[in-house]
Structure 1
Amino acid sequence: MTASSPNPQRLVLVDDHEMVLHGLGAMLGHFPDEVLVVGQVTTGAAALTMVAEQRPEVVLCDVRIGKESGLDLCRQITTQYPDTKVVLLTVYDDEHYLYQALRVGASGYILKRIDGQELVGHLRRIREGETVVDPALAGRVALSAARLNAGEFWSGAHLGLTQRESEVLELLVAGHSNKAVASKLVVSEDTVKTHIRGLYRKLGVADRSGAIAVALREGLFH
């Protein structure tokens, strides 16, 4: 039998659905020796305020919080409050989101179908310094890594880029304008701009030169 923690982990829960918050809070309430929920909020702004006030050990949040990005929130928290860990607890069973989460400093990526005992076990491992990936995704991540090493995956996948975003970035690196990229990919300029905004966010840059610098530093295109 695993010994209980000397003091429970202090958690803040972030989700735009109040029913999810109540359910998660109730589920974790069965493990008072392991975890203590000190705040439940529905927006990123409220989460930052709660973290500043409570200084929890862990924030559990979704990849999407309404129209907000849980990944952006993760980056803000891990930057401003390095002693607070962030775990993405989500329905998004997608390795690309996982790559992005790890890139912005998440300590875990766990799917919401998990039960309370498993979640508390993962939180215990995170407290001990591990980075936890949901077992349902771990195998697929390993396969993706193998495909990448074998040259069978697109460049930038490990940074969270979709195949189309990778194609757009490659054309930007080659010096093409948005209009030229749209022509080559047979899509509208608005679609190209949408892809560019997405890859900027995933790469953590603000402009084209920043994206190109990341691509060159990572050796994405040869």
Structure 2
Amino acid sequence: MPPAMTDTLDIWAADSQLSDEDCVPVDFLLPTGIYIQMDVPREATIQHIKLLLWKQAQAYPLFSFLGEMESHMFECVNQSAVHEELEDETRRLCDVRPFLPVLKLITRNCGRAERLLDSKIGVLIGKGLHELDALQDQEVKDFRSKMFRISEEKMLRVQMMSWKEWLQSCFSPQLEAGGTEALQERLNEATLKVTMHFDLSQGTSFRGAEGGREAGGCCRGQGSGVSTVPGGRGVG
């Protein structure tokens, strides 16, 4: 199959004819009414771009009115013609792919952790959560409401657990409840051998004890399970 051709008029394409090889001109709109244009690396993260902008903005008027850098984030118009707040600043500019190379600096609102989670979910599903909220399908709304309620109840139960209950819930032991009666009758204290079969290997390893001494070895076998062998005989 021939390689897919990229649009040479796409400013975010690696072989675009509209910008330099490594940088792209971006217009920044500051909340103080200042307009700044800079060439930024196409593959730079949003966090790095904001740091470059902050250094450049120091030479412009009203810089002191911006406040702390962490209290601001970028907003752009994405390829779906929807305003998108770039809460996740670890994303690269070429992955964000704004409709136009224009980034607006806005003040963060409260609930940053929830907004960051919404942003990551939107990236994973390829659609912003505000688009799902705009859907008028009652079945979709009921399903999302039910899943949210179940997740919230599960989270509250986990928060009420003690450390031991949490450990057993997250890392529950995969052990059999007990051996069969036939196996229990053949067990004795003199010899005990445990055979372990691994799913991705045909080799079989065992560790046994006889008369207080430990022994280890390896043999060939297939299947999966644990066998207890008294008196040197295998029990299936």
- The answer, yes or no, to whether TM exceeds 0.5 is no
**Structure 1 length as normaliser, TM-score?**
0.28
**Structure 2 length as normaliser, TM-score?**
0.27
Please state which structure has a larger fraction of its residues in helix.
1
* Structure whose CA Rg is larger: 2
Higher RCO (C-alpha 8 Å, min separation 6): 1
